[in-house]
Structure 1
Amino acid sequence: MSLHVANFYLGFDELSLFEDAAIEIAAGEIVCLATGVLDGGTSFLKACAGIVPFQRGTLLVDGDDINQLPPEQIFRKVAYCYESGGLVSLFTVYNNIALPLKYHRNFDNEFIVKRIQFVAEQLEIADILEYDVHQLNDVQLRLVNLARALVIRPRLLLADELQSGMSPAMREKILAILKRYCNETGASLLMTTTAGDSHSIAERVYRIENKKIVLE
């Protein structure tokens, strides 16, 4: 699924984060957006997911205006992985991952169990499925967010600083899983990164500079 952003303006009250920003991601591409402190990377990803409204510009997902798509259509195509938070504190890990399958799709329980087990085993979190959210560390929280995204088989995956806190071995394993997913499904991946993160799977790397998105 492609992502086209042009003439993009995003701000909050008197603070402007992006002015006339643009980025283009083709179907199946993996792109990293290197971010710094409070430069708007998270807000940009949330705008691409239809979570945060932007003030001006064009944001097309597979040719469709994100502002014109019903939430259920966005949900079926686009998945956003939170860097922190994003999970229901009263639910177990399993029920958090199952949430989009149970409440936004018409799948039977056997299918849901198999889908969750497959993704959990890939990400090596099968042993924490019955944990409560408060029992998770920061890396586990991000992996559960990723699992909840992958179970819906999104066409556009937006991952916010997913690599933070991971060991080099874990980082490369997770990146390999994401690369394989994009290769097999034709899905696109836009991932924000921070200092020390790997760009090994990215076809291009951008950074935020002077409220624009520029190629490194």
Structure 2
Amino acid sequence: NALRQTIESWHVSDFHISAARGAKEAIGEYEHLSASGDNLQQVARNLFENHPATYQKILDAMRDSVPGVSEITTQDTVDGRLVLQFGNGIFKDPFIDRFVSDGTLKMFAYLVLLHDPKPHPFLCVEEPENQLYPRLLPGLAEEFRDYAARGGQVMVSTHSPDFLNATEVEEVFWLEKGENGFSRVCRAQNDEQIVDYMSDGDKMGYLWKQGLFGKADPQ
């Protein structure tokens, strides 16, 4: 039973901007962000109303990551739906999520996911670098690391050297296609050359671009 509950608590994030953007029904799943992010508004409202300290951490991280963002709130529409509003210190009225950038919305969604009051024991994220400015990736990598430090396990797939540059040698694995249709999992920590380069101050993304990840050559 414990094993079943653990597996049922795994979460695979395949966030879609189109699914998360726009007005949503006010009633729905609000405790955990869905795989596509289509209940972002409900989850944000739940955090704001029931977990204010957690929501403040999310808001502080957004202010540090995205210039101009001062407040993020939810608003009921006249037809009983729910929209996200992004406040900017320059303008009097906030912008609804339909008018904010894909990267802003996606960064907020990841922070909501990673600050879940009841975190998933195993979290998988597919290519988080999509739609995000490269300078946001080191901070996002640190958020993933903090999530793991709080007790969850995180697996992130990426093709971004900028994201890899924010990782440590013991955190990186890659896959190599083998014979007979099987793939081999390789660990960066087991490669003495990579370990030596990292000890000298190099970064994982640069080493990958230089072709040091075996058959996982970016060229």
Give the structure-2-normalised TM-score: 0.49
Which has the higher Rg, Structure 1 or Structure 2?
2
